[in-house]
Homo-oligomer: A and B are copies of this chain.
């Protein structure tokens, strides 16, 4: 495998991607021929998802914007650290290394660092990828707290359509923590992996010629077959988040875009509307369709760090946040074999470190992250367009996790 060109040489402005009216054919990024998924085109498309797919608005409401205080620091760029594979880098070098599109650091609630690269601007939403799952999981946990969703209930209680599928004998709790035995491959390098049918069904990928598979998210979920047992091991599979999102919407009687708007976006004082990709019948992609701005992701994460309180509202019950931060079964998680996340667990669609800083995170492929470190009074929101889409963020984690830890130590020390 050849080494991809670096962040600087793949800057979409430098490359001239989608510049000109119309852009030249070799500079054009299209959804219908899948070039929008090809690196380095992703360096443009990840900041322009709504120009490629149908989307539902996540309205911020009409209230005032919450304004962050700033206490910008110049000492972060030089922070040294060693990557998991033994290379010496500085914080600043880590940003280019990870094809960062934007990164914002909050310390004690104030912005101490904020950078934008490539196609991203402060007011422009960027794809959140699987950070979407953590929104879906949080809403599910809130509904559970309210008694609207029963975690011990069968999936069939909410979704009788799932009779005959892998989920027929699963509980909502197992879906939330992803301990489902289901035949579903997320191996992006395998053209036969189920992830591709899911992407087509969810309007995230163009429909191939002569495609005869399911053309909606629900239609896709109804094809899933059991493989292995439920409740025994964590297995990271996006189909679980879609099943959970379906349960959430059915139980709440509300579209996920409206739930995020009503319960989070209208209370957080966000700067911008967010949006979510919808399928051909208007159903949102609950496992990966969200786009939002870097600052608004930071507001969301800071709310979590404060036990659900932010902008003058108790937005999420403190018990719900504590339940997530506490994590889940680490033995279940260890069976997934994610080498960069030894000792972690996965709770309500959040990644929990169980480390001495109490770190937990929302994470998405290609470098999307909301990293919350209560023990360092620290929140990092980060968007990227790394060429590799590894499950568990392997290649990125080799750099990011030591970099984030070094930053926390620097601020604490």
Contacts and interface: CB of A to CB of B under 8 A. Distances in A.
Question: SS class of chain A's interface: helix, strand, loop or mixed?
Answer: loop
Contacts of A282: 18, 22-23, 28-29, 48, 51
Interface in A264-317: 271, 273, 275, 278, 280-283
Contacts of A246: 21
A218 interface: yes
Given A62-B123, A246-B21, A271-B62, A280 B51 contact: no
Given A22-B216, A32-B280, A56 B51 contact: yes
B57 A54 contact: no
Interface in A208-260: 215-216, 218, 246, 249-250, 255
Interface residues of A, number: 37
Contacts of A48: 282
Contacts of A271: 62
Interface string A55-71: 11101001001000000
A54 B52 contact: yes
A90 interface: no
A53 interface: yes
Interface of A: 18, 21-23, 28-32, 48, 50-57, 59, 62, 65, 123, 215-216, 218, 246, 249-250, 255, 271, 273, 275, 278, 280-283
Given A62-B271, A273-B273, 10 more contacts: A22-B282, A28-B282, A30-B281, A31-B54, A31-B280, A32-B215, A50-B54, A50-B57, A51-B282, A55-B55
